[in-house]
Amino acid sequence: MLEKRKLIPVGEAVKRVMEFAFQEKKEIVPLLQAHGRFLAEDIAADADVPAFDRSPYDGFAIRSIDSREASSENPVTFKVVGEIGAGFVFEETVGHLEAVRIMTGAPIPKGCDAVVMLELTHTFEENNEMYMSIKRTFEAGTNISYKGEDVQKGAILLEKGQYINPGAVALLATFGYDQVPVFRKPIIGVIATGSELLEPGESLQPGKIRNSNAYMIMAQIERAGASVQYFGKFSDELDVCIDVVQNALQEVDMLITTGGVSVGDYDYLPAIYEAIDANVLFNKVAMRPGSVTTVAESKGKLLFGLSGNPSACYVGFELFVRPIIRTAFSNKQPHLRRESAVLGADFTKANPFTRFVRGTALYDNGQLIALPSGFDKSSAVSSLVEANAFIVLPGGSRGYEKGMQIDVLLLEDMQGSEWPWNNFRKSYK
Q: How far apart are CA 79 and CA 63, in angstroms?
A: 12
Give the total residue count for the chain.
429
DSSP string, 79-135: EEEEEE-TT----SPP-TTEEEEE-TTPBPPTT--EEEEGGG-EEEEETTEEEEEES
Helix or strand holding residue 298 (H, E) = strand 294-298
CB 304 within 8 A of CB 254: yes
Of the candidate spans 106-114, 162-170, 257-265, 392-400, the one that interacts with Mg ion by CB under 5 A turns out to be 257-265
Interface with ligand LQZAQKY5, residue 296, by CB under 6 A:
no
Q: Which of residues 329-388 bind ligand LQZAQKY5 (CB under 6 A)?
A: 378-379
* Choice from 307, 331, 354, 427 touching ligand MOO (CB under 6 A): 307
Buried b vs exposed e over 76-101: b needs ≥16 C-beta within 10 Å?
bebebbbebeeeeebeeebeeebbbb
Distances (CA, A) of 71 to 19, 122, 135, 137, 239: 73, 13, 4, 7, 94
- Asked whether position 331 contacts ligand MOO by CB under 6 A, the answer is no
213, 327, 360, 427: which one contacts ligand LQZAQKY5 (CB under 6 A)? Answer: 213
d(CA 88, CA 86) in angstroms, rounded, equals: 6
**Region of 53-61, 155-163, 194-202, 387-395 interacting with ligand LQZAQKY5 (CB under 6 A):** 194-202
H/E run at residue 369 = strand 367-372
Torsion of the alpha carbons at 65, 71, 74 and 76, rounded to the nearest 10? 40
Interface with ligand LQZAQKY5: number of residues (CB under 6 A):
27
**Is residue 288 close enough to count as binding ligand MOO by CB under 6 A?**
yes
The binder of Mg ion chosen from 95, 141, 264, 403 (CB under 5 A): 264
Instruction: Tell me if 43 contacts ligand MOO by CB under 6 A.
Output: no
CB atoms within 10 A of CB 404: 18
Residue 177 or 234: which CB sits closer to ligand LQZAQKY5?
234
Least distance in angstroms from the C-beta of 294 to ligand LQZAQKY5: 9
Pick one of 107, 259, 290, 344: the residue that binds ligand MOO (CB under 6 A). Answer: 290
Which among Mg ion, ligand MOO, ligand LQZAQKY5, none contacts residue 188 (Cβ within 5 to 8 A by kind)? none
Which helix (DSSP H) or strand (DSSP E) does residue 339 occupy? strand 337-343
- Cβ proximity to ligand LQZAQKY5: between 337 and 377 the closer is 377
Stretch in the footprint of Mg ion (CB under 5 A) among 10-18, 144-152, 264-272, 273-281: 264-272
Touching ligand MOO, residues 341-400 (CB under 6 A)? 378
Q: Which does 331 bind (CB under 5 to 8 A by kind): ligand MOO, ligand LQZAQKY5, Mg ion, none?
A: none
Are 191 and 257 in contact, with CB atoms under 8 Å apart? yes
Footprint of ligand MOO on this chain (CB under 6 A)?
A: 288-292, 307, 309, 312, 378
Footprint of ligand LQZAQKY5 on this chain (CB under 6 A)?
A: 192, 194, 196-197, 209, 211-214, 258-264, 267, 289, 291-292, 307-310, 312, 378-379
